[in-house]
Chain A
Amino acid sequence: NAGVTQTPKFQVLKTGQSMTLQCAQDMNHEYMSWYRQDPGMGLRLIHYSVGAGITDQGEVPNGYNVSRSTTEDFPLRLLSAAPSQTSVYFCASSQIGTGDYGYTFGSGTRLTVV
């Protein structure tokens, strides 16, 4: 059971470039989300989805797009990378409507924008 898989693990982008961070889960979880983690800022929610075809914005959505075409996949797109998007990005998933709402996190993508 792989859990939540994120690719790539590391990425360096130039300002203005675009890229997609991949996230896949094999636990049939309805809920998926993207967080960014910055020193002193904690984990902040970027976008989330409660099921295929349904997405919504979190606390810091600007500069990021998401889509959810399948239950398993929830990619995060940076349309025009900026140095302020240098961060560690985590994808997480969970069941909805059951007890113990524990999120399962991926191992993260470290992104540097130069």
Chain B
Amino acid sequence: EDQVTQSPEALRLQEGESSSLNCSYTVSGLRGLFWYRQDPGKGPEFLFTLYSAGEEKEKERLKATLTKKESFLHITAPKPEDSATYLCAGLSAAGNKLTFGGGTRVLVKP
């Protein structure tokens, strides 16, 4: 059974204080590792897809990396508008179904 686990569950940061979110996965024949951002009362918003170990992708203050067992979302010099829940999900070779982790709630205080 595919599993995705995110840590920590919650993260409180001061503005400018860089940090990393962890996503551990066991997904059969991983076809892609996805990161989403979710704001309160809204649906998840696509951020990145990573396909192979060693791959990195960046968007503004966010950088996602992938190893054979984990993915990390690095937030560099965060701003209050980066406050959100960040979701990680793995796509298996068995179909087009994503398995999601429980998410990390990030609060960036000014």
Residues of A within 8 A of B (CB): 4, 31, 33, 35, 40-45, 48, 50, 58, 90, 92, 94, 96, 100-108
Smallest CB gap from B34: residue in A: A102
Q: Is the CB of B100 within 8 A of A104?
A: no
Q: Is the CB of B49 within 8 A of A101?
A: yes
Q: Count of A-B contacts with CB under 8 A? A: 55
Which residues of B have CB within 8 Å of A31?
A: 96
| A101-B102 in contact given A48-B96, A94-B96, A106-B43 (Cβ < 8 Å) | no
Sample of 14 more A-B contacts, CB < 8 Å, known A102-B49, A105-B44: A33-B97, A42-B87, A42-B102, A43-B100, A45-B98, A45-B99, A90-B43, A90-B44, A96-B96, A101-B34, A103-B44, A105-B43, A105-B45, A108-B41
Q: How far is the CA of A102 from the CA of B31 in the complex (A)?
A: 12
